[in-house]
Chains A and B, each alone.
Chain A
Amino acid sequence: MPAFDVVELPETDHVTAGETAPEFTRPLVGEEFWEDRSLSTVVDGPTLLVFHPMDGAFQATYVYNEIDDRGWADALPVYGVSISSPYEHKDLLAERGDGVRVFSDPSASVVETYGVAHDIDGMEGITEARPAVFLLDADRVVRYAWVGSEHPSFPDYDAVEAAIDDLLQ
């Protein structure tokens, strides 16, 4: 069996459970249009915020496939965040992520504020998001947080779903 080295990502001081999710304003992309929206104006109940690698990367594709399979967007509002442009988000949402809307953060400054940045090797000048999941309550307080520490990595979907079920009860 060939050796398979998982890349460990550096430790990061990310947003954790109990903190208020930092406010930001970015273009929010749906299937039909995009407009500047702030996080505080879209959160009015339990909300799932999912940071993911740039659109088109297999990690992003797999995360959306899982969100669709589990029907999370039917249970609560789900918002993605990646460094991809609104045009790329529209293409992504045409294929998957039914009911999901995605913030566009090309400068990665929201990504950095949340402590989920990844300076990707071999793509000079690109800082993107690690996979990360934050479950927020109506007051924007983080009730569950998971941030990828390896490359690649995927959320513990069952744990996220359990946290969603707890919050929605």
Chain B
Amino acid sequence: MTDPQITLYRLQACPYCERVVRTLDRLGIDYRSRYVEPMHSERNVVKRVSGARSVPALVDRETGVTMSESANIVEYLEGTYGNEGAGA
């Protein structure tokens, strides 16, 4: 079994995280889902991977891309893995 190339750092019931999850599911992308600490100040793992403590944060080992902000992530996923991206 190969590990998914994409890891999503998320917070339970965070609408911005769910938005990214919906996009990943819609595009049929396999990903690793990691829930993190609700307390912003204690999310050091997210800070280490993305430079900021905000979630969602996405790491794509395939492309070497790490990003925060759901709108950016959705745009990146659609551009990289969506039909729009492939056809553009």
Contacts and interface: CB of A to CB of B under 8 A. Distances in A.
Chains A and B come from one and the same complex: yes
Interface of A: 27, 32-36, 41, 86, 90
Contacts of A41: 1
A34 B34 contact: yes
B28 to A, nearest CB: 18
A90 B33 contact: no
Q: Is the interface of A mostly helix, strand, loop or mixed?
A: strand
A36 B35 CA distance: 10
Interface string B23-57: 00000000011111100000011000000000000
A34 B45 contact: no
Contacts, number: 21
A90 B1 contact: no
B35 A35 contact: yes
A32 B35 contact: no
A33 B9 contact: yes
A41 B1 CA distance: 8
B35 A34 contact: yes
Contacts of A36: 33
A32 B33 contact: no
Contacts of B33: 35-36
Nearest to A90: B37
7 contacts: A32-B44, A33-B34, A33-B35, A34-B35, A35-B32, A35-B34, A86-B35
